[in-house]
Copies of this chain bind each other. A is one copy, B any other.
Amino acid sequence: MSPPAVAVSVDLVLLTLRSGQLCVLLTGRAGADVWTLPGGFVDGDTDLDTAAARQLTDQAGVTGTGHLEQLRTYGGPHRGPRISGVSVAYLALLPDLLATVSAAAGRVCWRPVDELTTTAERVLAPDHQRIVADGVERARAKLEYTPLAAAFCEDEFTLADLRRVYEAAWGVALDPPNFRRKVLSTPGFVVPCGRRTSPRGGGRPAELYSRGAATALHPPLLRRSV
């Protein structure tokens, strides 16, 4: 008996920070009214991580570096009563710089994730809405115990930039001195560049840092509320 043949797609949840808001990239097919996550079908002979990276450049038009990890796999007739198959979702965290790269094909737009989850307006198909929610929750959780917040920043960033990532993602205000102490006392989180920002709009120039080598934060940077 041969195994059942299933259609497998890879879908991407691309998150970035735009003007202090966590945003997700949506693609709109020409003529259609509904927005979808970028993605496409894959065959069984390609590594999934490779396929996802390819979708990132082809479908979303992102070229530079960033974080990409598998999120979750959704199966069954989730996209509607007729359409079945398996969807392997990936989560990408990008700085705004990369996010501005134009898409290779079709229209794209960035939507604040709060809009999608709170509003009654249906911008996204229900299954894609759930995938986005899962991706956002994963990102929020991973900020606690990994240095992935730096993936939202440029290659060189200030501690205030990094702090604003946490504040936007968690929706809380963090004490700058305490945040600074915590980050600098966590080995491998950031490494100082030895330079400072050219002043942007007043205030003391901040020191510049780049991403460290750590893959996990010990101890973690816990959010107070659940």
Q: Which residue numbers of A lie inside 8 Å of B, CB to CB?
A: 3-9, 41-48, 50-51, 70, 72-78, 84-86, 88, 145, 216, 218-220, 222, 226
Which residues of B sit under 8 angstroms from A47, Cβ to Cβ? 75-76, 78
Residue of B nearest to A2 (CB): B7
- CB contacts (< 8 Å) of A222 on chain B: these are 218-220
**Closest beta carbon of chain B to A68's beta carbon, Å:** 14
Main SS of the interface on chain A? loop
The answer to whether A45 and B219 touch across the interface, beta carbons within 8 angstroms, is no
Is the beta-carbon distance between B7 and A86 smaller than 8 angstroms?
no
**Known pairs A5-B6, A7-B4, A86-B8; A77 contacts B220 (CB<8 A):** no
Taking the closest CB of chain B, its distance from the CB of A134, in whole angstroms, is: 11
Choose among B44, B77, B218 the residue that contacts A6 (Cβ–Cβ < 8 A). Answer: B44
Known contacts A3-B9, A6-B6; A84/B44 CB under 8 A: yes
Q: How far is the CA of A179 from the CA of B31 in the complex (A)?
A: 60
Asked whether B7 lies within 8 Å of A76 as measured between CB atoms, the reply is no
| Contact (Cβ within 8 A) A220 B220 | yes
Q: Quick check: A42 and B75 within 8 Å, CB to CB?
A: yes
Chain B: CB-nearest residue to A88: B73
Contact between chains at B220 and A216 (CB < 8 Å): no
Q: Please indicate the chain B residues that have their CB under 8 angstroms from the CB of A77 in the complex.
A: 45
A79 to chain B, nearest CB (A): 11
Q: Which residues of chain B are near A70, meaning CB under 8 Å?
A: 72-73
Residue of B nearest to A85 (CB): B44
A7 partner, pick from B6, B51, B74, B84, beta carbons under 8 A = B6
